[in-house]
């Protein structure tokens, strides 16, 4: 093959279509030529196969022309490949002696727990994104007996000395060329002899023959994901908990895209000027996060931010954003700014920036996973306005690799703003948290955060912040609940299809159940409502809505037409807003303004 350079895959094609265009169709087209170059086993694979016990049963996923199926005649190996062209080559080479089948790597037809070993050589890197690559490996592993062994080969990024010259820092998602040469027919020598004889009589015959056999080479491009050395461990050695937490971190993108949507559609007045700083930071840095590459991050961002949000989604996002911001502001005003706001799992939320810009002298803490905090920190450092507002004087660093990103300290600490890169579950009452002053009245916010934890971890976080408290510790919690109806079942099914497990969603399905749970956590002065009531969609006290000004409701109702009021009512009543607090000493301050709103459940203990 000619040394034709690889090219980066710049177009973001839907994964199934990408594999069809750049893998399946290509291998079927080049199969005969490709097979001619695949005849010698790789030494490590050969050694692996020859070390298997006699009569072991194995599986070769992506067997190609079957060159590994006969390495050890004492084994029984079933070979499958997605390319019918390559399976045909394997059948011809073996005179139909191999055990072959056509199968998709994401839907292997073989029985589970039956095989002693499996190999998959130079296959996994052809799947279009991380989720599909992980699923392909999971499919193979599911076929192995307990104690079975698997050998997987993938192309590496670090091969600078090879003719391809890939090196660390290069794009990991590339189109690798295959220069397709036309197969030489068995009669070629006879044609040449005949042409030589004719040339003595007619020079034109030579020219005609040369035009006939000198067809131009055609270059076909195949998609490859090139693995960095540590990717195998950071991607495929995930525990189930690691995988779940990656999915949870990804929900921050959903939340950011929803806030971006209502910001663009004029729901927020004045507009949030900081949202784009976080969007830009994700666009620049998501590729460095665990489990992402340049292409998968670009595809993820495109999918999230180009999707038009339904009017009822925009309405719900506006209501939760508006009411939570209002309650925080009322808390700050009640204590004349001599208080503290702690946002758990703050993600890309930007509301605290506006409070600081408006001159509030409260202390603000934002806590999230280190990776999420790094994204936020980089968004802050690359915004001159945010650096000025927050009093951050560090210059933005240059991030050009995953190592650079991982080495970045995720924290920021200024006079009244603190960004912490911490796992909430690792914080306890003895933890040292820079800048935290629990002698001040403190409002702890969880906006769709604690709901991703087990009930035990949920309670642990509540217990921790109660234990840290010395004055008034208040909690403002927003999250979904199932109501144990058909709509709740549909929500649960959708969440589970995305790999998300909200353990308290159905365990505490109603406002009453959540009220009882928060009491069990040691909280008092409980107030709960749902978003349907806040928006006035339940018909109760619609004209005198104490949550949103009627004129404001009229304004947002004109922004987008919601033709199915029953549908938005059904959605919003499955989201609850809960306030509760704990006073740690006699004479501790009280958040009295919490009683000014119309709650569906109120169990006030403050006098």
- The predicted-structure confidence for 584-605, as pLDDT tens digits, reads as follows 999 999 999 999 999 999 998 7
Q: Is the peptide bond before 542 cis (omega within 30 degrees of 0)?
A: no
Distance (Å, rounded) from C-alpha 301 to C-alpha 206? 58
Report the pLDDT averaged over residues 313-340: 97
Q: What is the separation, in whole angstroms, between the first and last Cα of the chain?
A: 84
Q: How many C-beta atoms lie closer than 10 Å to residue 138's C-beta?
A: 11
- The domain defined by 240-603 folds into Rossmann fold (3.40.50)
**Residue 413: beta bridge partners?**
418
- The average pLDDT across 50-58 equals 97
Long-range contacts of 385-388 (CB under 8 A, 24+ apart): 385/273, 385/274, 386/274, 386/277, 386/353
Distance CA 411, CA 422 (A): 9
Q: If pLDDT is split at 50, 70 and 90, which confidence band does 166 have? A: confident
pLDDT tens digits for range 224-280: 999 887 676 555 556 566 777 888 988 999 999 999 999 999 999 999 999 999 999
Task: Indicate whether 199 pLDDT > 70.
Answer: no
Q: Is the peptide bond before 270 cis (omega within 30 degrees of 0)?
A: yes
pLDDT at res. 11: 62
Question: For 394-437, how does the pLDDT look when each residue is reduced to its tens digit (9 = 90+)?
Answer: 999 999 988 899 999 999 999 999 999 999 999 998 899 999 99
Structure tokens at 159: 């091969």
Is residue 61 within a helix (H) or strand (E), and if so which, with residue range?
A: strand 57-61
Provide the 8-state DSSP code for 292.
-
- Residues 6 or more apart whose CB falls under 8 angstroms from that of 454 comprise 503
- Phi and psi based region of residue 557 (left: phi greater than 0; alpha: psi -120 to 50; beta: remaining): alpha
What percent of the chain is predicted at pLDDT more than 70?
89
Q: Do 423 and 453 contact (CB within 8 A), yes or no?
A: no
Spatial distance between the Cα atoms of 392 and 356, rounded to a whole number of angstroms: 13
> Tokens 């009822």 correspond to what residue?
312
pLDDT at residue number 203: 40
Neighbouring CB atoms inside 10 A of 437's CB total 13
Tell me the mean pLDDT in the region 284-312. Answer: 88
pLDDT score for 541: 54
Give the pLDDT mean for 381-386: 98
The whole-number pLDDT of residue 204 equals 41
| Mean pLDDT for the stretch of residues 569-587 | 97
Tens digit of each residue's pLDDT (9 = 90 or more) over 470-490: 999 999 999 999 999 999 999
| Superfamily of chain region 7-173+223-236 | Vaccinia Virus protein VP39 (3.40.50.150)
- Domain ranges in the chain? 7-173+223-236, 182-216, 240-603
- Mean residue pLDDT of the chain comes to 89
Length of the chain: 607
Here the tokens at position 385 are 């306005």
Distances (CA, A) of 229 to 132, 152, 234, 542, 557: 19, 14, 10, 60, 53
Confidence at 22, pLDDT banded by 50, 70, 90: very high
- pLDDT confidence of 46, banded at 50, 70, 90? very high
Higher pLDDT, 213 or 362: 362
Q: Rounded mean pLDDT of 286-315? A: 88
Cα(307)–Cα(150) distance, rounded to whole angstroms? Answer: 40
What is the 3 state secondary structure string of 188-204?
HHHHHHHHHHHHHHCHH
> Which range has highest mean pLDDT (34-38, 183-187, 357-361, 512-516)?
512-516
What pTM, to 2 d.p., does this model score? 0.73
Are 7-173+223-236 and 240-603 equal in CATH topology?
Answer: yes
Residue 599 structure tokens: 């709650």
């Amino acid at each position: 093959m000619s040394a034709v350079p690889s090219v980066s895959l710049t177009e973001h094609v839907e994964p199934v279509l990408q594999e069809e265009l750049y893998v399946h169709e290509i291998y079927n087209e080049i199969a005969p030529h490709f097979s001619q170059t695949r005849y010698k086993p790789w030494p490590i694979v050969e050694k692996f196969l020859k070390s298997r016990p006699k009569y072991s049963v194995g599986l070769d996923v992506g067997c190609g022309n079957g060159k590994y199926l006969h390495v050890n005649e004492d084994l029984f190996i079933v070979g499958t490949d997605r390319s019918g062209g390559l399976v045909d080559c394997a059948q011809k080479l073996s005179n139909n002696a191999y055990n072959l089948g056509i199968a998709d790597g994401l839907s292997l037809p073989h029985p589970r727990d039956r095989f002693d070993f499996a190999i998959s050589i130079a296959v996994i890197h052809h799947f279009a994104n991380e989720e599909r690559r992980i699923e392909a490996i999971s499919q193979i592993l599911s076929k192995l007996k307990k104690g079975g062994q698997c050998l997987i080969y993938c192309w590496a990024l670090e091969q600078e000395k090879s003719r391809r010259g890939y090196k660390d820092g290069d794009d990991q998602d590339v189109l690798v060329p295959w220069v397709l040469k036309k197969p030489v027919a068995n009669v070629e020598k006879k044609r040449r002899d005949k042409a030589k004889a004719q040339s003595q009589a007619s020079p034109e015959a030579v020219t005609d023959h040369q035009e006939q056999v000198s067809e131009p080479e055609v270059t076909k491009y195949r998609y490859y994901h090139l693995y960095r050395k540590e990717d195998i461990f950071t991607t495929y050695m995930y525990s189930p908990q690691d995988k779940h937490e990656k999915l949870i971190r990804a929900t921050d993108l959903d939340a950011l895209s929803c806030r971006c949507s209502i910001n663009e559609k004029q729901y927020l007045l004045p507009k949030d000027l900081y949202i784009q700083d976080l969007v830009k930071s994700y666009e620049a840095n998501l590729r460095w996060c665990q489990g992402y590459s340049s292409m998968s991050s670009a595809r993820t961002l495109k999918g999230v931010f180009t999707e038009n949000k339904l009017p009822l989604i925009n309405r719900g996002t506006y209501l939760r954003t508006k009411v939570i911001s209002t309650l925080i502001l009322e808390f700050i005003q009640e204590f004349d700014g001599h208080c503290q706001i702690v946002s758990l799992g703050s993600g890309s939320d930007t509301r605290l920036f506006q409070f600081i810009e408006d001159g509030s002298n409260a202390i603000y803490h934002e806590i999230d996973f280190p990776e999420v905090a790094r994204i936020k920190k980089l968004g802050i450092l690359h915004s001159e306005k945010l650096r000025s507002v927050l009093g951050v004087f560090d210059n933005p660093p240059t991030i050009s690799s995953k190592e650079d990103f991982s080495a970045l300290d995720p924290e920021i600490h200024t006079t009244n703003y603190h960004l912490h890169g911490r796992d909430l579950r690792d914080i306890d009452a003895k933890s040292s948290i820079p800048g935290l002053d629990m002698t001040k009245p403190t409002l702890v916010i969880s906006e769709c955060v604690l709901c991703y934890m087990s009930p035990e971890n949920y309670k642990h976080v509540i217990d921790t912040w109660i234990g840290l408290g010395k004055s008034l510790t208040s909690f403002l919690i927003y999250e979904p609940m199932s109501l144990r109806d058909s709509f709740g079942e549909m929500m649960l099914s959708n969440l589970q299809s995305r790999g998300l497990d909200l353990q308290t969603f159905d365990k505490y399905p109603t406002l009453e159940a959540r009220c009882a749970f928060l009491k069990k956590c040691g909280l008092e002065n409980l107030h709960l409502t749902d978003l349907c009531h806040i928006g006035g969609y339940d018909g109760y006290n619609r004209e005198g809505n104490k949550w949103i000004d009627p004129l404001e409701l009229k304004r947002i109702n004109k922004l987008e037409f919601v033709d199915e009021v029953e549908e938005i009512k059904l959605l919003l009543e499955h989201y609850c807003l809960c306030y509760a607090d704990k006073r740690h000493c006699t004479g501790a301050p009280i958040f009295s303004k919490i009683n000014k709103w119309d709650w569906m459940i109120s169990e006030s203990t403050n006098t």
